[in-house]
Amino acid sequence: MQSIKFLQQYFFAPRKIGAILPSSGYLAKTMVETIDFSSANYIVELGAGTGVFTDKILQYRESDTLVILFENNTMFYEMLNEKYKSESNFIIINDTAESIDKYIKKYKIPSIDYVISGLPFASLPENVSSVILDKTRSLLKNDGTFITFQYTLLKKEMFNQYFEQIDIKREYRNAPPAFVLSCQSKNGNTKRKIKGWKKD
């Protein structure tokens, strides 16, 4: 059912969805395998889609880790709300990833440990990608990590403009096979966790 809904949304807005099928569980595992869940206070996912990566994040996260999802597609957003309605320390935002800074400020989050992205940077307008990457870099803690996947490495130079170190892994067990990029920069935020965040 999720695959059918995903396909419907792809044909409705292919540039925003970026793929015909949801990512595989194998790709999801590769996306989160470099995350140190024991020390992660804040994890943000951009473009959560049907929740394939979200499932892995929630499987391994600590109970007091705050997870925030961004999903601009209304159908996916409603699906995610129903799927994760019982989760605690969990926020789903129906807005574009370009607004990430507004919500990080709203929920009084000092800095983000990990940002996991399912956004189709290969098909997003360059100015949109630039805004998202620039804001993401500035909101990550000093040793924070931005993790994304791409079907080709054509956009690697774009990521190099924002992150000094990029580790790449190939996951063949996905349709199509994908590259997972783990990106870090020394220009991030160094502030730490503030207890008692509130969902307004």
Distance CA 150, CA 78 (A): 26
| Domain-located, residue 191 | no
Distance CA 44, CA 50 (A): 15
pTM higher than the cut 0.75: yes
The CATH number of the domain holding residue 87 is 3.40.50.150
| Domain-located, residue 25 | yes
- Residue among 121, 113, 122 nearest 97 (CA): 121
Tell me the pLDDT tens digit for each residue of 99-140: 999 999 999 999 999 999 999 999 999 999 999 999 999 999
Give me the pLDDT at residue 146, please: 98
| Domain-located, residue 103 | yes
| Domain-located, residue 200 | no
Structure tokens at 1: 């059912």
Mean pLDDT of the chain: 87
Question: In the predicted model, is pLDDT for residue 194 greater than 80?
Answer: no
Average of per-residue pLDDT across 142-164: 96
| Domain-located, residue 158 | no
| Domain-located, residue 189 | no
- Count how many Cα atoms sit within 13 Å of the Cα of residue 43 in the half-sphere of its side chain: 29
Find residue 150's DSSP bridge partners: 179
CB 150 within 8 A of CB 167: no
Tell me the pLDDT tens digit for each residue of 42-91: 999 999 999 999 999 999 999 999 999 999 999 999 999 999 999 999 99
Question: Confidence class of residue 189 from pLDDT cuts 50, 70 and 90?
Answer: low
| Domain-located, residue 142 | yes
Phi, psi of 190, rounded to the nearest 5 degrees: -110, 0
| Domain-located, residue 121 | yes
Give me the pLDDT at residue 186, please: 61
What is the domain extent for residue 81?
Answer: 2-149+165-184
Tell me the pLDDT tens digit for each residue of 103-112: 999 999 999 9
Number of domains in the chain: 1
